[in-house]
């Protein structure tokens, strides 16, 4: 391998070992497992309920379809409906997860702000009034000119 190829390989290894890539990989694996759970929910729980409601004509959502003409192909729209149901379930669960995560994050931030010691306001010394300033000026003038008893 050339020197350039080794540099590219080293960069690739560094990229793969970054925390963001590893976190994304874990998310994809968990997402795949969650998809299997949702598929089972649709196939094993929702389909039998739909078959119970729809009777013998509807045994499985994915088998729903319509023939295009007397000898035409079967347009199976049921599988598409099942995919939409899966998408809506996954989307709703992800919405709930993100919503609860954001709530926990906001609560933690509020708690952190509440636990911080409140900064004490430094009170500025009271400013003298005009009368006090004039009185000080008169005193200074008296000290400079003892004969003037203004």
pTM: 0.49
Q: What average pLDDT does range 27-38 have in this prediction?
A: 86
Question: How far apart, in Å, are the Cα atoms of 98 and each of 77, 103, 112?
Answer: 31, 9, 21
Question: Domain extents for the chain?
Answer: 3-116
Q: Could you tell me if 61 and 81 are in contact, meaning their C-beta atoms sit under 8 angstroms apart?
A: yes
| Residue 33 scores a pLDDT above 70 | yes
- pLDDT for 140 equals 84
**Which tens digits make up the pLDDT trace of 43-99?**
788 777 877 776 655 666 777 788 888 888 888 888 888 788 888 888 888 888 889
**What would the two tokens of residue 37 be?**
């759970």
Written as six digits, the tokens of 58 are: 């509807």
Instruction: Pick 3-116's CATH classification: 2.60.120.10, 3.40.50.1100, 3.60.15.10, 1.10.1200.120.
Output: 1.10.1200.120
Q: Which tens digit of pLDDT belongs to each residue from 108-148?
A: 888 888 776 655 556 777 888 888 888 888 888 888 876 65
Q: Where are the alpha helices (DSSP H) in the chain?
A: 3-16, 19-40, 47-54, 78-115, 130-144
Give the N- to C-terminal CA distance of the chain in Å, as an integer: 101
Other C-beta atoms lying within 10 Å of the C-beta of residue 91: 10
pLDDT at 82: 79
Over residues 14-42, the mean pLDDT reads 82
Report pLDDT for 103.
Answer: 92
């Amino acid at each position: 391998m050339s020197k350039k190829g080794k540099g590219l390989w080293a960069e690739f290894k560094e990229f793969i070992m970054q925390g963001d890539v590893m976190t994304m990989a874990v998310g994809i694996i968990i997402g795949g497992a969650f998809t299997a759970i949702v598929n089972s929910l649709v196939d094993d729980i929702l389909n039998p309920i739909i078959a119970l409601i729809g009777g013998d004509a509807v045994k499985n959502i994915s088998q729903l379809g319509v023939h295009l003409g007397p000898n035409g192909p079967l347009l199976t729209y049921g599988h598409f409906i099942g995919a939409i149901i899966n998408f809506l379930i996954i989307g709703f669960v992800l919405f709930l997860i993100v919503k609860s995560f954001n709530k926990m994050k906001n609560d933690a931030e509020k708690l952190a702000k509440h636990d911080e010691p409140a900064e004490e306001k430094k009170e500025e010394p009271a400013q003298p009034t005009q009368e006090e300033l004039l009185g000080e000026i008169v005193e200074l003038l008296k000290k400079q000119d003892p004969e003037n008893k203004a």
